[in-house]
Structure formats: C-alpha cells, structure tokens
Structure 1
Amino acid sequence: MRYFSRLLIVMLLVSTTAALAQTLPSPKEHFGFNIGDDYQLATYTQTEAYFKKIAAASDRVKLVDIGPTEEGRRQYMLIVSSPENLKKLDRYKEISQKLARAENLTDEQARALANEGKAIVWIDGGLHATETVGTMQLIETIWQLVSRKDPETMRILDQDIILLTHANPDGQEIVTNWYMREPKPEKRSLDNLPRLYQKYIGHDNNRDFFIMNMKETQNIGRQLFVEWIPQIMYNHHQRGPAGSVLAGPPYRDPFNYVFDPLMVTGIDALGAAMINRLNAENKPGFTRLSGSVFSTWYNGGLRTTTHFHNMIGLLTEIIGGPTPEDVPLVPKRLIPNGATPYPVLPQKWHFKQSIDYSLSLNYSVLNYAARYRDELLFNIYRMGKNSIERGSRDYWALSPKRIDAIDEAYKNDPKKVVPPTNAALAQYGMIPKGGGMPMKYYDTIMKAPVLRDPRGFIIPANQPDFATAVKFVNALIKTGVQIQQATADFTVAGKKYPAGSYVVKTDQAFRPHILDMFEPQDHPNDFQYPGGPPVRPYDAAGWTLAYLMNVQFDRVLDGFDGPFKKLPYGELQSPEGHVNGTPGAGYVLSARPNNSFIAVNDLLASGIEVYRLPNGVGGKLTVESGAFFVPASAKAKELLDKSAKGLGLDVTGIAKRPTTSMIKVSPMRIALWDNYGGSMPSGWIRWLMEQYHFPMKVIYPQDIDAGDLRKKFDVIVFVTRAIPPVGGKDEDIFSALSEPPKVETTPAEYRPWMGKITADKSIPQLKTFLEAGGTVVTIGTSTNLAYHLKLPVKNALVEMTPAGQEKPLPGEKYYIPGSVLRVNLDSTQHATWGMPTQTDVYFDASPVFKLAPEAIAKGTVTPLMWFDTNKPLRSGWAWGQAYLQDGVAAFMAPVGSGKFYAFGPEITFRAQAQGTFKLLFNQLYSTGKTAQAGSESVSE
C-alpha cells in the first residue's frame, strides 16, 4: 500500500511538472522566432505579453509594475529566484536595505545578516533602444532562468534574487516598429529613426540618474536606491570598440576619488569572472581598461550612479544587431595585451552571437554572486560602514589639487631638504631608504583643518528660491540619501537657521553620492602624453548639482546636532508656500524662484493681467528688479492661493499699487527648433516648457525656410548644434553614425521634419524675422548665428598664427569639457531678472565672445554674462582657464526691431542647470509697454 501511495505521488509530480513545462512558452512559441534570429525584433507590446505569460506560468518569477513611462506604458521588473526565496522576498529586501545602509549594525550582526540573505543582482536592458541586443538578451535571459534545471541555474536561483528590469519600454516599441516596417528582411535597418527613442531626451535617458527628471528614471531609481539596493547591477549597452566584440570591466582611469576602494576592486573581481567565462567558452573579443573609453569618473548614468552608492556597477558595450554586420579589421586590436587578452578575428557577425555572449556574461555575474553571496552582502555593509565612520570624524579626501599643493609647497620652500637619490633605483621608480619628501608637507597641506571634509550640509529654508532647493533635496531623496529637517529654529557654528531647513549629514552609507552632489569635482589634468592633447572624459568632468541648481547651503566641518527629525527613506518633500499681507491693490511675486514662472503662466492662461517691475520696489517691501505684480481680483486670489500652496511660493499681498514703473507681461508665440531624428537639448527644453507651463510649438528647418516667421511666432529658441558655423558644418557623434535620411525612403509623415539650417536659405529668413521685431534665443554652438548676422563680436578663444591669422586655441593650451564655471551677471537687464550678480553655469567647450571696438563705442551689444577672473572653475576640469578672463559669455544685440540673445553656456543643460533657467524664461514674455505707475508708495 505504501509503495502504491509513493508511486501515485511520483506520478502526480511528473504530470504536474509536465503540465508546467507545457505552459511555459518559449520565445519561439510566443514571438514566432528565436531570440537572436537575424532580421527579427520584438515590440514592447509583444514583450510585455510574454512577461505576463512567463510570470503566470512559472513559480520562479514575480512580475512587478514599477511605474508608468513618459508615454503612458507600464514599466516592468521581473524578480527571478527559487520558489522558496520568492515567498520570503520582504525579508531578503529588508536584509539588503539594512546591510547597504549599515545603520546601527555591528560586524557580527552584519555577518549574520549576510549569511541569511541572498545576493541581489540587477540586470537591465533596452535603456538605449537602438542598442537592440540589450532588450533581446533580457527576454532570452528570463527564458533561460525559468526553463533550465542544470546545477548552475539551480544554484543561482537558490542563492540569488535577480531583478530583470526593462529600462525603456517606449523606446523598444518605437525602434522595433521602425525596423520591422520593411517587409523584406534584408532591407530592414535601424538607421534614421525619425524621433528620439525616449519621449523627450533619447540617449540622455542615461544621464538623468542623479536628478531623476524622467518617469522611467524615477521608476528605476526607486528600485535601485530605496527599495532593493542590490549589491551588483549590470547595465547592458552597445557598441564595442571597432575590432573587438565588447568592452567591459574593469574600466580606464580616472575613477572618482569619493569611491570606497572595495567598490573599485569589486568591479575588478566581477570583470575577471566575466572575461574568464568568455575565454573558457572560446568567445574572444572582450576588451577592458585602456582598450575602451569607458571610465568610472562620471555620476548620472544608470551604471555610474550606483558606484556612488557602494554597488558594483557593471557596464558592457557589445556589437551586433538584427542585421548581420562585420567585425572589421583593426590591426592593432589583433595583438593580445592586458586590455584584450583574447582578440577576435575579423568575421561576419550575427545577432545570435551577441545574444549568446550576453547570456554568458549574465550567467558569469549571477554565478559569481551565488558563489560569493555572503561576501558581497558583507562588503556592501563594510563600504557603508566605512562611509559612516569617515563622516563621523575629521577626514581629509585626496585629490589632484591637494597633491599639486604639496608639490608646490615643497618646490617653493627655500629651506627644503633635498632627499638622497640613486639613478639606478630612480629608473624603477624607487628611492633610497630614508629618502622621499619630508612628512611636514603632507601634514601642513593635507591635514590643514580648513581642508577637512564636511560633517554635513545645511540648506536654509529662508533662501530666495527654496522651492528649487527642495527639488535638490528630492533629488537626494530619490537616490536613497537620508535627509533630516529642522522642527524648530537652531544655531550651528554661530549662524541661526529657521525651522524647516534641511540637514544632510555625511555620516551615512551613501556619503560618496552626497559629497558628489555638494562638493566640486577635481578632474585630473589628463593628457595623452606630457605637452600633448587632452584625453576627453567619457562624459562631463564636473557637475556639482547644488551649484547648477543655485542652492544656497553651508558646509559644516565639525559635528553638530539640533532639533532635527529624520525623514523616511524615499519620502519626497513639498515646500510650503503662503500668501502674506493684505492684497488690497494686488500681489507681488518674486522672480527669483523658478516656480514663479509656473504661477505667472497659469495666471496669463486664465486671462489675468500680470506686470513686471523693472526697477523693483524699495521701502519695507524690498523686491528685486523684474519681480511680478498682479492686480487684485477674486480670480487672481484663487489662482495665487493655489500656486503658493502647490508650488512653495511666498506671495506678498500689498495694500497700495507700486509707484515704480511697470511693464505688462504678455505671453509670446514660442517656437522651439528641432530636427529629424530628434535633438536631445531641444527635447529637454520641450520637457521644461511643459513643466513650467509655457505654450510652444516645435518647428523644423523646413518651417524656417518657408518664411513668414513673424506672422506665426514672436520668439524662436535654438539649442546647441542647430546653427552651423559660418563656412562649415557641425557634426556630432550621433549624426556621424549613419547616413542622412533619403526623402524617397522616408515615410511621408516624417518628411516635413527633414533638412538642416543652411546659410543660403534659413539664415536670411531668421534675419527677416528679427528685423520685423522677432526675438531669437540661441544657446551653445547655435550662437554661431551672431557671426552669420555679422554682429560686432568675435571669438575670444583664438590665437594668432605666424602668418597673422586667427585660429582656435589648441587643446594643449585650452580645454574645458563639461564643467561648472562661475560668471558675473548684470542682473538689472530684462534678460537676467531674478538672477544674482554671480552664478554658476554649465560650460562644455562653450562659445566665449569678445566685443569688437565698434560694439563698445556704439553700445550695439549689451553684455549679459562675463568672466571677471582668470580662475572661474568651480567644478570639473578647465585647462588654460586664464584665457576666459574678460570674455563675454552671453549678450543681447538688437537686429532691426528685434532682439538677438546669445548664451554660450548650456543654460538649460539636461534640466540640471536650474540656476540658469531664468535666462531662458525671461525671454519668453513680451516686454510690452510701460504701464502707468501707482500714485502711492508700497507700505506692506
């Protein structure tokens, strides 16, 4: 009887397993093709359906909706592990959070949690949607993990919790539909996608992760930095360097000095596991270190922001796609070296090969995590604990400028003792015993009390644009930083602060990220060889977000405390605004807060009159130049009450009308340039316009060439790379990757977007628009329009050749990649209303001007921003910055009846440069005519 019972149980188990296997659809069964088949891609609609089928059929999967995309789709994360682990997800998530935050844990407690927990591994795909390997490998990886029963897979499922996350659903739908539109497979192409594959910002969706403006970024960021905090995250990208199959970890120098060394060596360890597996499987072509351009300096990318949170962030950039291609012959790539130990030979390359490589790489990471699970969990705790300890005591960070200061002090010391040398040892970089620089130079420079790292930062609640400061605080909260808020007034280091101020202490696990958001980056002087050309950073060299957002804060070097409450992790903040005073005559709204422009646009849209005060207001109510005045009315009260509360604005009601002159504000008909394929800088501004409620229309070169612009628009905005240089053309990396689109092969609906701004057709139309009273705003390289219009300005960054001709300064003398610089402003000008007299700008090899003598004599050009020092660098890298002194960074010039604005710096850069948004916003209102001033002074 017992035998038959056991037999029955076995038969039931077999039949259940068989039924389950039948219900698990393979990719071939669902999509109609195998993942990696040439000329085949899946849409996101098909992929989403597959995710749901797999989740319903497998006990190894939990499907999680992590939020909406910018186009309204749902973004999914599949949690894959053993059925037993999935039943205890809350516990494993709790362990991961506790170890990552390292709060109030002893090493013994951390080791116990590490032994109990599971390794949390993030693998994503599809962020850059034209990089189709990433999306398709995600599908294949899910299938392999839910269907395979080999010992390695079972060990992975037992020891790991895998977060498989689709990074860009909208992009997959757009790109696949574009590729698959051609019925003949051999004619399919990813080239010439007509629009950005993320609604607003395309490729820049991988530059949004320390501010998190986009919905997809917010969804991903919450899982990474607040919910799960994985020990490993793996970000799939394309494409590998020519002559290799892929680039991967470890990466080239420099790495950011705030990192914990365990994070850096953790990348080394995972990189070794990845390349070893490929080599063992006879899959050549992995390059690393100096074999590629990728570094770990930058913050803001999906992979790189994790580095500042003690996660081992991995990036691979692989070749391949649905259309077969060639691995080209690059002779220098064929010799094995430390960067490329196993070169790949030139050959025809198929999509399936890239998928197979990606699957091997995923399994190498997951297998490493399974085998070293407890070590990974303990190490993220150790890194967090190190950060807490460094933030709890006096600590001096190392950086190039500190090292240079030591060398300079030694060089200039007349009493220095020259250490003994030995030529034989010197050739090996060695020094005799007892040699080396005396320690006093280290002690006086590196241990100077004023050079200590801060114990914390205080963001006062009484700053002019507190609402934007709260946006900065929310950016920190989205990245998992612990924030405290004052519940009462308090004093630190002799300075008083109001209740509501925010406090960010550095004695917490994510200290590297905190320092990176508040403190300047100090990029090394990186050249190919001494005296040679500079080595370009992979992205920006400096980006200090507190600077770019013009947040007022204080660095506190000693330990401090006060009436502070800790805010729950991930809980976003809303600033409190108020309507103060008695609005008998109306309301005054400062122009300093960015959110004031939302309130004004809402008022104008409701037909309510708004004025600007060009001279401000004195007396008891001191208001800056350009503040807004709104006459009292019931409707105005209703809207301003709502705006004050919802936007965190302090609106002042006044009993008497201002006696100063006023200018009526009128909305303008705004046009924003874009082009076929989509401009990321234009997309960012389009998003900004929507956020700040500026109505606008996107126009294309053909719209400009058609003429009659003044009948349609009042202002046209040109972002960088719209206007070509005089006598030349601008090309960027993205336009150089494919041939320009052809009219005959472009669908009719996209043909109106085609074309470029040209000197013969477009520039004359813009000149006519200006002369007829229009306004043109140019940013970055589009300030080239000043030269097309023959305005009396010149390039300030040139030198004379022996033949007496001007040429741009070479990189050996002057080089400033993306960095933060300080400029002076004339804040009395309409263009700069609401701005301080000095501000930080994002500068990326940006134009700088010199006024011609006739411009100064005739006053035909009005400088708006300029450099008044030979050391304007605030954060990043500025080689030869002395050349900037006295250069003009922005100006206004009348052209006929219109106005031309040139802003060399990127004043709206990636929606991060919020401290300079007003330089655009101010130009989007009509200056109108001066209104009749009131007859009585303001007393409120």
Structure 2
Amino acid sequence: MLRKKTCLLAMLLLALFSNAQNIPTPKEHFGFNIGDNYQLATYTQTEAYVKKVAAASDRAKLVDIGKTEEGRSQFMMIITSPANQKKLDRYKEISRRLAHAEDLTDEQARALAAEGKTVVWIDGGLHATEVVGAHQLIEIIYQLTSRKDAETMRILDNVIVLCTHANPDGQELVSNWYMRNPAPEKRSTSQLPRLYEKYAGHDNNRDFFMMNLRETQNINRQLYIEWLPQIMYNHHQTGPPGAVVAGPPFRDPFNYAFDPGIISGLDAVGATMSNRLNLEGKPGYTQRAGSNYSTWYNGGLRTTTYFHNMIGLLTEIIGGPTPQDIPLVPQRLIPSGATNYPVLPQKWYFRNSIDYSVSMNYAVLDYAARNSDLLLYNMYKMGRNSIERGSKDYWTLSPKKIAEIEQLNKNEQQRNGTTAAPQRPGGGGGFGGGGVPMKFYDSVLKNASLRDPRGYILPSDQPDFPTAVRFVNALIRTGVLVHKASAKFTVGGKEYPEGSYVIKTNQAFRPHVMDLMEPQDHPNDFLYPGGPPVAPYDAAGWTLAYSMGIRYDRFLDDFTGPFERIPYGELQSAKAPALPTASAGYILNSQSNASYTAANDLLKEGVEVFRVQEAVAGTNAAIGSFFVPASAKAKSIVEKSAAENGLQVGTIAKRPVSLKKIAPSRIALWDTYGGSMPSGWVRFIMEQYHYPVEVIYPKDIDTGGLRAKYDVIIFVDGAIPAPPSVLAGGRGGFGGGGFGGGASDNIPDEFKRMQGRISADKSIPQLKKFMEEGGDIVTIGSSTNLAYHLNLPVSNALVEMVNGQEQRLPGEKYYIPGSILRVSIDSTEQAAWGMNAQADVYFDASPVFNIAPDANAKGAVKPIAWFPNAKPLRSGWAWGQAYLQNGVAAFVANVGQGKLYAFGPEITFRAQTHGTFKLLFNELYTTAPVVGKK
C-alpha cells in the first residue's frame, strides 16, 4: 500500500513538474502573437503574462524593482538555467567584486571570472511610443524560457539575463491609446494626450546621472548597485531612413573620460550583431557614420554605462503595429563599411522588427555565453585601470591639450621662420614625416598643474549643503564610492568641518566621477573644414557639479583624513542641528534651495514669513533670506522642514529693519496638449519644493481674465514662437522645442507640436493685459520671444551686418549646443536673491540680448545676468563664444504694473540645474509694502 502511494505521489509530482514547464505562449495569453499587425499589449496584460511565465518556468525569477511615478510595479525577469538560479547570490557577488576591482590580485580576478556567469541586461519600453522595445521584451522572455535548442541551452548555462521593463506607465498609456480605435487601419500612437512618463516624456532617457525619476532610480540600482552587468542592451526606435536598424559601433566623438576598452568592446559585440543579421538574410543594419549616435554623452540609459566600464548597446529599429514602407534612399543602396548589406525598399511589418530584435538579442547573448570569462575579466581590468590612473600622476588627453601642443609648435615655427611639413593622419609609418618636438608634449602632458585630480572635498559648511548632498546621492546611486569625514580635518592648509564628503578618483568608476566633476571638452566637429557644425547626439557639456552649483575643492595630490567609507548604495541625508530657541525669529538663508521649501511649508500653514531686504551683518541673513517671527507654531514647522531637508536654520535676536511680508503666489504653468517636456520638468521641481501650481493651456490664456486667477505665469522653452516680422528681418526670434542639447534621436511626433502654441492674435494681448494689471510672467529659453511680441527695447545680440542688414550669425561662425557657461549676476535684483556674483548656467543655443541704453538707464529694463568676457565656456563646446561678450542672458522689464522676467539659459533644465533654480523661485511670491523696524 505504501509503495502504491509512493508511486502515485511520484506520478503527481511529475505531472505537476510537467505542467510547470508548460510555458504559455503569447497568443494563449494576449490573444495574438507578438508582432501581429494592429495589435499592442498593455502593461497590465504584460505584467500578468510575465507572472504566468515565472510561475511556470524554473528558468525565470520575477523581481519587482520598485514603483513607477504612477504607482505601478516595475518588473525585472531574471532568466538563466535552473542550476544558476540556485546560485544567483554568488554570481551577483562575483559580478560586483570584479566590477569594483578592489582588493583582488590578477590571479584572483581570473579565477572569479572563470567561476562567474556573464550578466546581460536587456530592456524595452523606455520611450513608450517606440513600441517594438516593450514587445520584443515579451517575445525574448518567452523564447528564453521555452526554447530547448543547443544555443539557448548554452546561453542559459553561461549567462544571467536581466529582462527589464523601462517604462510601465508609458506602455499602458500608449497601448491603450493605440487600441482605442475599433478600426485597426485607423489605429495610431500619435497625438497622445499627455507625456508617456509623468514628468519627463522622452527626456526619461536623459535622467540617468541625475536620477530624479523613480523609474530611473529603480533601474540604476539594479545596474550599478545590485548586478553591475558586463553588457547592457537598450532597445529604441526608429532606424534611419533607408535602413532597418542602427546599432553599434557608433560614430565619433567618443568621450575621452572612459576606458578605450569600451570602444573595442562595442566593436566586437557590434560585429557579432551585424554578422548574425547578415548571415540570417536580414539586411539593413547600419553603424558608425551610417547613423547619428555617438558615445559622447553621459546621462542616457546606455551611455551612462560607459562610465562604469560596461558595454552599453543601443539599437534604433523601424517598425510598428501599423505596416509601413522602407523608403528609397539611393545613397544607402551601395554596400559600405557603414551598411554592409543594404535593404531594398519594401513593405515592412511589425513581426519583421520583432524577429530582427530577437536575432540581435540572441547574437549578444551567444557572444556573452561564448566569452563569459573574458567579459567578466575585461570589466575588472577596466576597473583596475581606473584605480591605477587615480592613484598616480595622470594626464587625460583632451582636444584643448592637443590644441595647446600644436599651438606651441606653431609659435616656435613662426619665431624661427620655418614651416613644418604637413602631417597625415597617423604620422610616420610610410607617410614621410616627422612629428612635433617632444618638448611641447612635455610642456603640456607633463605639466604638473594640468594633471588629473586625485580627489575632491565637498565642505559641509557650504551655504546650500542640502543640494550638495543631493549631488553626493546622485554619485552614490550610480555606484560611486564616497567617504565622509567623521571629524574636522585640514588639507592643503584649509580646514574642513566634520560631515564633509570626500570623493577619491582611485576607484573603478573614476570615469563617472571625472565626468560629473570636471568640464567636458567637446572637439570642434564640422561637416568639413569651414563648413557647418555637426550637432552632438545630445548635450556637449553637462558637468553636474557645475550645474548644481556645488562648492568643492579639487586636489592634484593624494590626501588623507578621518574619512569613513560609505557602503555602496547607501544614500545620505543632510543632518540639521537642533533648532535653538529664537528670541526674535528664525532666518532661512536664501542661498539654500531648501529654505524655499521651508518657507512654502510655513506659508501653507498660515505662518507669517518675510524676506530680508538687506543682508544683516553678523548673521546668516543674506539679502532675500526668509525671516520667520518666533512662535510655537513656527518653531514646529521650521523644525520639521529642517529635519526633512537638512536645512541649517539661523536665529536672530533682533528683528531685521527692512522686511517684506510675502504670501504664496497663485502660479500658472503653461503646457501643451500632448505634454511639454520642459513644462513637465518644472512640474516636478514645483512638487519637490512644495510650490502649488496650476497647469494651463493656450485656450485658458485665450479665454482671458488671467489676473483674477493668477499672480505669475511660467512659460518654459518652446511655448512662445517669435513674431513673423522679427523672424523675417533676421533681427531676433529664437527657436526651440525644448528637446535640449541638439538631441538627435528621433523625437516622437506628439512632441513636435510645441511650436506656435501661443497665438499672436489671441494669446499675446491677454498676456500683455495680465502684466499691465499687475501680473508677472517668467519666460525661459525661446519663450523669451515674448519680449519681441511686446516690442520691448531689446534685440538679439547674436547678429551681424550682411549687405547692410542684420542677419543671425551662421553656424560656421557661432555655435553653442547644450553646454555650461558662466555669467555674472546682479544678486541685488530680487530675481537673483541668494545667488552669487557669478553662476554656471545651462546654455543650449539660448537667446542673448542687447538692451537699449536709454531703457537700461531709466530702469525700464534691467539686466539680471550677462556675459562679462569673451570666454564664458565652462564645459562643453562653444564655437565663436567671443560673440557673447557683454550680451545679456537674463533681464526684467516693467510692463504696466507687472513685470516680464526673461531668462535665456535653461535655468530649470531637466530638473538638473539646481544652481539656477532660485532664479525662478524668487518670482513665486507676492509681496506687501516694506515694513519698518518694530
């Protein structure tokens, strides 16, 4: 009897096991095959499917990596062999140890590489209208969990695949929007009603060094803290016209900050991908000069990986559920190094794109399986290279240093009256020509003052320390090793307080540290000598420490102190000291962004708040600081806000003499149907700093009655086009759609509708009336065109005379894509309270003005920020920057009883430019008349 029961139990277990391995097909779950025409899956359906697969397969483990901005669960499916699933913790540990490259001998590293498994990241759905990405993710999950062929089994044995959904909210919105039409042929993903990421839309792929967004934080924790994969593959759309897919290797320039092993690694994996497609008879793969994608920019999902010694792959493929045509582009029909196997014009179907994506996934995974130990060891080796470079005197090669060597050589030739023979690329080696004397190399690349820093110190007594902590957390979230001082210390003759942060460059992710703390030096990149500039893939310069306004000291020699190592991934918070008893009241320093949050919290609860009109000697009350009269209620709110935000609150024994009482403004923020990304980022900032804001649309403006509802209206870049008369004369007018940095990846159609949303005949008169009645308007970027609509006495500073007429400067003479420039600030102006005399601003082909002399003299138009010299570039690329000298970057103008604030630079860019947020915040309060001493 017992034996019979045992047999029955065994049969039952076998049946259960067999059922558990019966992976549901996509058609069984969704009702259609992935890639069927006119069919898209929602995220709700996708999440239900991957849960079914995880329950049925011993190859799969489903992980919830965090909540999205709309509250959905963001999944990652870990796929590998059942044997590997049992040892995931061990393989994760190996991947981490090799990536950090600490405390390992070369022999130990090779042993770990032999023991470990390659970790490969495959994502989809980041840009939700690029629907191939999310759907190929479904298909590859199904194929990896169901197929039993030799290649799949080899992959499962040697690779751990992290299949990660990058934007659940976006897939839900886009798929529902597409499928809403019952007639399949009329379905479309265009004209979405809102952004497909709550705040950022397409800009969600520009957030990976800042990590404002929850989805970005979730992803980066897996990439840089938990798993540290050797390869990551980021799926996008759409391919260049006349091709099917653009992929690695990519065009120049590549960023000189990261290890050259990244570029050779991209060459190797890219060759594998294109070769597989070629041999499978799948034409249309283009690379290098065949597309516009480079490896220069940091901040994208795949590009940030380069600064962490990971091989980051990007493909941009055509296709969608509605069939389309591959157009005829004759130049692409001749095989070349960029396009080995041209595709002919033809009808293209969704399933074609899914099949190509699966083939490329398998190419990457097969390469990873066959080269597992090599990939693991190579990541370690690149990390060791970084540690060694940060442990000794090292000079990073950059365009400016090379130009300096060439100039020194040229200067000597001119002095001697000689001219060197022209040198061909590569020098020597059969080209018949020598080189530049080594003394010039030594004068630059052995110049001790030009070597790379060994480390940085962020003092804890800087006025806006909470923002410095935000910066430190941005580094920590990307796996950077940070130390904190446990006591005061002295370096280089300067004393630093306890709690200061220390960032050394002798670490594996040194490239990321250098990239966010040192200036970018983008090469001069022109289509041909004397020709037009070639736009960067995104920004040319982005040094985060600059744009956030962080105060830090850089040291060229190593230093020590009472430094405690912060565990990888452990986020920091600025600690606020115990709040002292105030006799007259509390001072919230205007130099700290956190003070504005505290002021907003106080105003919300009905507590009196004033702004200091003059700095108070002997206190931390800088001009524009907030004064809060002492009371039990005030103390409770200030104490809570200080604790949450790490704000240093001062007290004052005597009420300041000159004060203005403030109240919260009724704030309106322009947006457009379908969503403006710059507007979305400002919404995010307003929420973070506790400003109540109402989003309005053009029809709300055109309806009128604005002053009865609002005190201030914000117009971001892309809201207000230039008047036709101004554009026709070439005298002014600034473009802009808010995409930033000359971004060249394919912007979805719904975001191209931003131009011309404000009408000259309906909207402008209402805005003028609003200001005349006492309302204020803040304009940013191209929306400063409002000044031209109002006929203010300002003009475009970036023009030249051609045949007696003003024309805008051509790109051959002046070109500044997204870069960081330095301006002078009039910090006595209310708009600039809390700012220093100089500031770093994000400048993206931004407006620059001349103010009519009489208008300036009479105070009708006052400059807030300007370019004081001919070399304002701090980071990036500024061709012809001398044209900026004396140009006005920001001004305030009286319009009736109200004011127009015009900020040419992107002061709120991607919610990254914390150093210039105050230029917006200061306009967001209403004030009463000055009250005297009490």
Partner of 1:929: 929
Please say if residues 700 and 754 of structure 1, whose CA atoms lie closer than 8 Å, have aligned partners that are also in contact. no
Q: Residue 89 of structure 1: CA displacement?
A: 0.4
Taking a change above 3 Å as real, the CA distance of residues 797 and 149 of structure 1, as seen in their structure-2 partners, is: same
Matched residue, 1:519: 518
Asked whether the 8 Å contact 2:249–2:270 carries over to 1, the reply is yes
Q: Verify: 1:673 aligned to 2:670, yes or no.
A: yes
> How do residues 891-906 of structure 1 correspond to structure 2 at under 5 angstroms?
891-906=891-906
Equivalent position of 1:835 in the other structure: 835
Q: 2:742 maps to what in 1?
A: none
Q: 1:639 aligns to what?
A: 637
The corresponding residue for 1:347 is: 346
| Cα distance in 2, alignment partners of residues 167 and 740 from structure 1 | 20
Higher mean Cα deviation, 623-632 or 854-863? 854-863
**Alpha-carbon distance in 1 for matches of 2:708, 2:9:** 82
Deviation at 1:560, TM superposition (A): 1.1
Match of 2:806 in 1: 806
Q: Name the CA distance, whole Å, in 2 between partners of 1:706 and 1:221.
A: 45
**Closer/same/farther in 2, CA of residues 739 and 651 from structure 1, 3 Å limit:** closer
Q: How big is each residue's C-alpha offset from its partner over 1:403-462, in whole Å with a ceiling of 9 and x where there is no partner? A: 010011111126978999778989997577782211100001111000010000100111
- Alignment-derived partner of residue 817 in structure 1: 817
- Tell me the equivalent position of 2:405: 406
Deviations along 1:111-160, one digit per CA (max 9) or x if unpaired, are: 00000000000000000000000000000000000000000000000000
Give unpaired runs (5+ residues) of structure 2. 728-732, 740-745
Structure 1 residue 466: deviation in Å? 0.5
Cα distance in 1 between the residues matched to 2:418 and 2:530: 27
Q: Distance in 1 between matches of 2:159 and 2:417?
A: 57
- Write out per-residue CA displacement over residues 634-669 of structure 1, whole angstroms, 9 at most, x where no aligned residue: 1001011112222111111222212x2100011110
* CA displacement 1:343-395 (0-9 Å, x = unmatched): 00000000000000000000000000000000000000000000000000000
Q: 1:524 to 1:415 in 2, by over 3 A?
A: closer
* Separation in structure 2 between the aligned mates of residue 396 and residue 534 of structure 1, nearest angstrom: 28
Structure 2 residue 704 is the aligned partner of structure 1 residue 703 = no
Question: Displacement of 1:929 after TM fit?
Answer: 1.2
CA distance in 2 between partners of 1:736 and 1:202 (Å) = 10
Where does residue 602 of structure 2 map in the other structure? 603
**1:915 equivalent in structure 2:** 915
**Following the alignment from structure 1 to structure 2, what is the Cα–Cα distance between the partners of residues 831 and 917?**
11
Aligned-partner SS, 1:784: helix
| Aligned residue runs from structure 1 range 490-529, under 5 A | 490-529=489-528
SS of the residue aligned with 1:213? coil
- Partner SS for 1:265: helix
Amino acid at match of 2:635: K
- Please identify runs of 4+ aligned residues in structure 1 that moved more than 3 A: 4-18, 414-434, 579-582, 728-742
Letter in 2 for 1:647: N
Distance, in Å, in 2 between the alignment partners of 1:180 and 1:79 is 30
**Which residue of structure 2 lines up, in the alignment, with residue 571 of structure 1?**
570
Please name the residue that 2:855 is paired with: 855
- In the alignment, is the contact (CA less than 8 A) between 1:243 and 1:333 conserved in 2? yes
- In structure 2, the partner of 1:882 is 882
SS in 1 for 2:204: helix
What is residue 774 of structure 1 aligned with on the other side? 775
Structure 1 residues 849 and 87: CA distance shift in structure 2, 3 A: same
**8 Å contact from structure 1 (residues 541, 876) kept in 2:** yes
Q: Which amino acid aligns with 2:27?
A: K
Alpha carbons of 1:431 and 1:881: their partners in 2 closer, same or farther (altered >3 Å)?
A: farther
| Contact 2:669–2:679 (8 Å) recurs in 1 | yes
Matched residue, 1:544 = 543
CA contact (8 A) 1:701 1:754 kept: no
Counterpart in 2 of 1:553? 552
Match of 1:745 in 2: none
Letter matched to residue 230 of structure 2: Q
Distance 1:427 1:695 in 2: 60
Residues 425 and 779 of structure 1: CA distance in aligned 2, closer, same or farther (over 3 Å)? closer
TM-score by length of 2: 0.95
Aligned to 2:245: 246
Change (3 A) 1:418 1:89: farther
Compute the displacement of 1:756 (Å): 1.9
Equivalent residue for 2:710, pick from 713, 725, 737 = 713
The 5 A counterparts of 1:144-293 are 144-293=143-292
**What's the CA shift for 1:731?**
6.9
Please say if 1:662 is aligned against 2:663: no
Distance of 1:678 and 1:102 partners within structure 2: 44
Aligned to 2:730: none
| Change beyond 3 A, Cα 1:415–1:349 | closer
Residues 1:388 and 1:134: Cα distance change in structure 2 (over 3 Å): same
User: What amino acid maps onto 1:648 in structure 2?
Assistant: G
The alpha carbon displacement at 1:9 in A equals 12
Q: Could you give the per-residue CA deviations for residues 739-785 of structure 1, whole angstroms, max 9, x where no partner exists?
A: 8999xxxxxxxxxx998211011000000000000000000000000
Query: Structure 2: how far apart are the matches of 1:800 and 1:817?
Result: 23
The SS at the match of 2:567 is: coil
Q: How many residues align?
A: 917
1:135 corresponds to which residue? 134
Q: What SS does the aligned partner of 1:63 have?
A: strand
In structure 2, the partner of 1:765 is 766
Spell out, residue by residue over 1:719-749, the C-alpha distance to the aligned partner (whole angstroms, 9 max, x if none).
001001111695749898648999xxxxxxx
CA shift, 1:17, in A, is: 5.8
Query: Matched residues in 2 for 1:138 and 1:6: separation?
Result: 42
Q: How has the CA–CA distance of structure 1 residues 6 and 347 changed in structure 2, closer, same or farther, with 3 Å as cutoff?
A: farther
Alpha-carbon shift at residue 263 of structure 1 (Å): 1.1
Matched ranges for 1:279-428 at <5 A: 279-413=278-412
Q: Does the CA-based 8 Å contact 2:890-2:904 persist in structure 1?
A: yes
State the distance in 2 between where 1:755 and 1:534 align.
Answer: 27
Letter in 2 for 1:259: F
Q: Distance in 2 between matches of 1:426 and 1:503?
A: 42
> CA-to-partner distance for each residue in 1:10-67, whole Å, 9 max, x for gaps?
9889756642344x21100000000000000001000010011111111000000000
Structure 1, unaligned runs of 5 or more = 743-752, 935-940
Contact (CA 8 Å) 2:676, 2:751: kept in 1 or not? no
Q: What is the rounded CA distance, in whole Å, between the counterparts of 1:684 and 1:425 in structure 2?
A: 48
Displacement of 1:858: 2.4
Residue number among 607, 626, 629 corresponding to 2:627 in the alignment: 629
Q: Secondary structure, in 3 states, of the residue corresponding to 1:468?
A: helix
Could you tell me how far 1:469 is from its partner in structure 2? 0.3
8 Å contact from structure 2 (residues 587, 620) kept in 1: no
Deviations 1:540-572 (A, max 9, x none): 000000000010001110111111000010000
Distance 1:427 1:109 in 2: 38
Q: Is the 8 A contact 1:25 1:54 kept in 2?
A: yes
Match of 2:721 among 724, 727, 750: 724
Counterpart amino acid of residue 230 in structure 1: P
Inter-partner Cα distance in structure 1 for 2:808 and 2:38:
46
CA contact (8 A) 1:487 1:563 kept: yes
Aligned 8 A contact 1:247 1:318 in 2: yes
SS of equivalent to 1:907: coil
Indicate the SS of the match to 1:794.
Answer: strand
Question: Amino acid of the residue matched to residue 638 of structure 2?
Answer: L
TM norm structure 1: 0.95
User: Distance in 2 between the 1:651 and 1:400 partners?
Assistant: 45
Q: Aligned partners of 1:643 and 1:54: how far apart in 2?
A: 46
What's the secondary structure of 1:143's corresponding residue? helix
What whole-Å deviation, never above 9, does each CA across 1:861-920 have from its counterpart, x for those lacking one? 010000001000000000000000000000000100001000000000001100000000
Is the Cα–Cα contact under 8 Å of residues 119 and 160 in structure 1 kept in the other structure?
yes
Report if the CA contact (8 A) 1:674-1:700 is conserved.
Answer: yes
* Cross-structure match for 1:937: none
Question: Following the alignment from structure 1 to structure 2, what is the Cα–Cα distance between the partners of residues 295 and 70?
Answer: 30
Paired residue secondary structure (2:253)? strand
Query: Does the 8 Å CA contact 1:870/1:881 hold for their aligned counterparts?
Result: yes
Q: Which residue of 2 aligns with 1:938?
A: none
Letter in 1 for 2:388: E
